[in-house]
Structure 1
Amino acid sequence: MNTLDRARRHLKAHPMALDAAIAAGVLACMVAGSFVDPHGAHDVSWGLRTPDPLSLVLIVLGAVALVFRRRAPMTVLALTGTVSLVEAVTGDPRAPVAMSAVIALYTVASTTDRPTTWRVGLLTMTVLTGASMLAGPLPWYAQENLAIFAWTGIGATAGDAVRSRRAFIHAIRERAERAERTREEEARRRVAEERLRIARDLHDVVAHHIALVNVQAGVAAHVMDKRPDQAKEALAHVREASRSALNELRATVGLLRQSGDPEAPTEPAPGLARLDELVGTFRNAGLHVEVARADNGTILPAAVDLAAYRVIQEALTNVQKHAGTEVKAEVSVVRVGPNIEITVLDNGAGEDLRPQTVGGHGLLGMRERVTALRGTLTTGPRYGGGFRVHAILPVKTRTRATEDPV
């Protein structure tokens, strides 16, 4: 088996050597056939006749032409057809020179399309068979003439069948490769989406809690000497913010654990149910926040609930970091038809520097979250000062699997 495989690979690497071997085999068959008399005393007799020199020359020419059948199939067919035609008209029609034309016709049919095969095949069959019947020395109904018609038809049909099989196998292989590429691209896309999601969560958690820690630490440092009780309270808020940050980081990083890990966290992702707790952390840091809710107790999908929570968290964090002192923020959660609308306003005075102008990722992360859920996000300064963040999220989300049919 190994020897056969090596021989097959060698022949594929050297196709001309294979064609030369085929030409030699066809030459041997044609020479042997020229010595056979199909009408002998015992039906088929060997050695009762010998081919004339012209027939041998035509046999050799037809066989040599087959060596180049892959490089120029049409040219080889024309040459072998010509020598077969000459043999049919001037020589002994029983010398099987037409065998070379049959092989050449097979090659043309296996390397071209079906219309070309039909045209060339019919032309070859008609010319060779017609010349043998009309201009040959044998009667038109002789079996040698009918054999030319049959063998040229078989050559064209076999070549077309081989071409169809090759095209079918190529289509299957191409479809399999395309499916493999699609699976790899889908896997890469999912990995990229998961990385972005984790990056957004880490950014939201770290930005929010570090901002709180920074504010409370600044308060503690400012009042440490004159008001130690207030400094102690600020440090307690720092400790609480740090603990919350560690818990959320542990929950986020826990998503990277392998499935079945008993140490993986099971705490649910934050949502609007924890809005009061979130707002309380900002109020403890000195930010005046008012909340208005008119969502009528709507139960949101987990992804929408988390996105709404993160939008409010990031917007309030930006207010605290960028809107200046003595700022008032307003948060509203309203159910409007099939959507839930989140609005965060502040009345910050002076030039409002937002993360997108200083290289941050807060607004970008919010936009990615909302867009992933087929929602819309608008941000921008308010007339008269301050900033506005407005997100519209659909209450019912559609999964990617239902949108991307296979």
Structure 2
Amino acid sequence: MNNSWQRRAAAHPTAVEATTVALLFACTVASVLLTRSFMPGTPPLWPAIALAAVACAAFPWRGRRPLYVLATATACAMALGALGYLVTPGLMGPLLVAQYSTGVRTARRTTWNSALAATAGMVVTGGFRPSFPHSLIITIVNPAAWVLLSAALGAYVRVRREYAAARAEHADRQREEEARRRVIQERMRIARELHDVVAHHLTLADAQAGAAAHLARTHPDQALGIIAKLPDTTAAALRELKATVGLLYQDDDTADLAPAPGLEQLNELVDTCATAGLEVIVTVEGRRRPLSPVLDLTAYRIVQEALTNVTKHAATRTAEVRLRYAPRSLTLTVTNDTGSGRPLVTAASGGGFGLLSMRERATAAGGTFHAGHRPRGGFEVACGLPLPAPVHSHDELPLHHHDEGPAT
């Protein structure tokens, strides 16, 4: 019902304003008649009604000129006191409403300056009341208190409205910042996926093409075998690239998308690296545990990017991948030796995005990441990913070693 009344009031502002002025005038006239009935000397009636009409007639301008409306109402209230009326809250109705409107629509300094001026006028008027020479509370304190109370109420409403507006603005700003942050995070996620997919497959395709060109004259059969596997590498690159870019065109999550890769595809990754001439040894320590989709994808992409860096930058043709399952963590380690003693060039020294992408993935999953040269030569990438606590006590078994052996 309240909302319905507010909608009607907003649709008919003129009628609402006229009704407000009429009610205020009626209340003021009723107070004039009531006060006149017990006042000694019978103050004049029609001048008082005329003053009430003038004070109420100025109210339609209180939105644009609140100080002028307040000055008019104060002058009319003082005139009623000069006519011999006791200035009661009813007679001061137009003044109190005008003071409230001033407090709502003007700044704090203006509100209280105008309130002090109106209070001073009412105090002066009450001081010259000959009928109540000893009643300071009725003639002075009471009018002054009502004026100040109206000013305080208007100032309070103004502060509440400003606070509500500030909260709404702050909420809008927070929503905009949150939306902007989500857009940036999504861009970074897609950029990481594109980098991992394109860099890995193109690096393998380049290595396969180079190996085929190198073996074309001396071992043509091996060269033809590598060339025969090259379409599989490029097809896998196109397939993952299409799946990643396809996310940009999805309006909802109802479309069928290819499952994200995980550690279950690690053997396929090792076989693909083998076609590019990189021998990968995978070692698993501890009891295998199922991973969440996010952790599974993170672990796979980190291993994939590390092997891609080895293929591009390392002088050796061998690498080792070690997976260590602990009760509350999974540690991934990818290492390679310097081979023939040539200096190792890494993505970190080349200014690439490989190490940055791996670090961001590990950090986003709540893990740790370290990459650097080994004391005995070579390069190492180590990542620790948190795992949920094991459900069954038999997960706390002693660690054992399982070597899948080198890829061929």
Post-superposition Cα deviations, 1:143-193, rounded to whole Å, max 9, x if no partner, equal x98365444333222222222222222222222222222122111111111
* CA 251–92 in structure 1, closer or farther in 2 if over 3 Å, else same: closer
Instruction: Specify which of 339, 350, 356 is matched with residue 329 of structure 2.
Output: 339
Greater mean deviation of Cα atoms: 100-109 or 182-191: 100-109
Structure 2 unaligned residues grouped into runs of 5+: 1-6, 15-27, 49-61, 390-408
- Aligned partners of 1:102 and 1:151 also within 8 Å: no
- Change in 2 beyond 3 A, CA 1:385/1:373: same
Partner residue in 2 for 1:140: 133
The answer to whether the Cα contact below 8 Å between 1:105 and 1:155 also exists between their aligned partners in 2 is yes
1:302 to 293, 298, 317: 293
Identity of aligned residues (%): 35
Instruction: Indicate how the Cα distance of structure 1 residues 164 and 347 shifts in structure 2: closer, same or farther if over 3 A, else same.
Output: same
Q: Is the 8 A contact 2:43 2:83 kept in 1?
A: no
Distance 1:106-1:188 versus aligned 2 partners, 3 A rule? closer
State the 1:39 CA deviation.
Answer: 7.3
SS at match of 1:191: helix
- The one-letter amino acid paired with 1:376 is T
1:4-403 alignment, distance < 5 Å: 45-46=44-45, 129=123, 136-140=129-133, 146=138, 149-256=141-248, 257-259=250-252, 264-265=256-257, 267-324=258-315, 326-348=316-338, 349-396=341-388
* Larger relative contact order (CA 8 Å, sep ≥ 6): 2
- CA pair 279-136 structure 1, distance change in 2 beyond 3 A: same
Q: Are 1:220 and 1:235, in contact at CA under 8 Å, matched by a contact in 2?
A: yes
Shift of the 213–175 alpha-carbon distance from structure 1 to 2, 3 Å rule, reads: same
SS at match of 1:390: strand
Specify whether residues 43 and 396 from structure 1 end up closer, same or farther in structure 2 by C-alpha distance, changes over 3 A only.
farther
Whether the aligned pair in 2 keeps the contact of 1:133 and 1:140 (CA below 8 Å) is no
The amino acid across from 1:269 in the alignment is: A
Aligned to 2:56: none
* Aligned-pair Cα RMSD in Å: 4.8
Three-state SS of the structure 1 residue aligned to 2:335 is strand
Q: Report SS of the residue matched to 1:298.
A: coil
TM-score by length of 1: 0.69
In the TM superposition, what whole-angstrom CA distance separates every residue of 1:54-103 from its partner, at most 9, and x where no partner exists?
Answer: xxxxxxxxxxxx9x99789xxx99xx999x99x98xx7765989999868
- CA offsets, 1:247-275, max 9 Å, x none? 2112212222232665x43x211111111
Residues 257-309 of structure 1: per-residue CA shift (max 9 Å, x gap): 232665x43x2111111111111111222112111101412111111111111
The total of aligned residue pairs comes to: 352
CA distance in 1, matches of 2:380, 2:93: 86
Evaluate the alpha carbon distance shift between residue 352 and residue 95 of structure 1 in structure 2; reply closer, same or farther with a 3 A threshold: same
Q: Secondary structure at the match of 2:382?
A: strand
For 1:299, the aligned partner's letter is P
User: 1:273/1:260 Cα in 2 relative to 1: closer, same or farther (>3 Å)?
Assistant: closer
Kindly provide the amino acid, as one letter, of the partner of residue 297 in structure 1: R
**Is the 8 Å Cα contact of residues 343 and 388 (structure 1) preserved in structure 2?**
yes
SS in 2 for 1:329: strand
Q: Aligned partners of 1:48 and 1:396: how far apart in 2?
A: 86
Give ranges in structure 1 of 5+ residues lacking alignment.
9-28, 50-65, 398-406
Deviations 1:338-389 (A, max 9, x none): 1100001110243322223323111000011001111110010111321010
Write the distance in 1 (CA, Å) between the matches of 2:286 and 2:262. 14
Conserved 8 A contact 2:39-2:85: no
Amino acid at match of 2:184: A
* Alpha-carbon distance in 2 for matches of 1:40, 1:302: 88
CA distance in 2, matches of 1:158, 1:271: 70
Answer yes or no: is the 8 Å Cα contact 1:338–1:394 preserved in 2. yes
